Amino acid sequence: MVDQTTITAALNSIKTATEITNVLRESDLSIEEAELKLKLSDLVHALADAKLGMIRIEETLAGQEKRIAELEEALESKDTLVRHHDAYYRLDKKGKPSGVPFCLRCWENEYRKRQLVADISGIYNVCATCSHRYDLQRTTMT
């Protein structure tokens, strides 16, 4: 998660890089080579900080876009999913729960529609996302 501090730090790094560039551009040609190298080093450092900040912001925005898409899908599914015993199901044309079971915990806690799958024991259905195990009898439509 990116907070305001990360954004402010990235903007400050860009501002610093701009100021250094302006100093170099406006300086006369008598600037010492050592001073020039120091300023260029500062410039590279400021640009690297800005780049890292922008990468963090980009990653956060991508994560938020994905989560928004999931929530939009959940909102669209809200009226078409119904709880039956320990799972959620889609409603069929007759308005009855049918099809594959979805994880109760993922749906109720995070509005994530995650399909349950039978584990190898044949006793449980398991959510691949949260790993919660459900009694197969209570998460299977009969």
Residues that bind Zn ion (CB under 5 A): 103, 105-106, 114, 127, 129-130
Residue with smaller CB distance to Zn ion, 17 or 102: 102
Phi, psi for 107 (deg, rounded to 5): -70, -45
CA dihedral 61, 66, 72, 73 (to 10 degrees): 180
Please give the helix or strand (H or E) that residue 117 lies within, else none.
strand 116-118
- As given in the structure block, the two tokens for residue 38 are 């120091």
Residue 124 Cβ vs Zn ion, minimum distance, rounded to whole Å: 13
- As given in the structure block, the two tokens for residue 55 are 């990468």
Burial class (CB in 10 A: 0-12, 13-18, 19+), 118: middle
Residue 16 Cβ vs Zn ion, minimum distance, rounded to whole Å: 46
Residue 110 Cβ vs Zn ion, minimum distance, rounded to whole Å: 9
Residue 106 Cβ vs Zn ion, minimum distance, rounded to whole Å: 3
Cβ contact 91:82 at 8 Å? yes
Residue with smaller CB distance to Zn ion, 20 or 114: 114
Residue with smaller CB distance to Zn ion, 9 or 118: 118
Residue with smaller CB distance to Zn ion, 62 or 123: 123
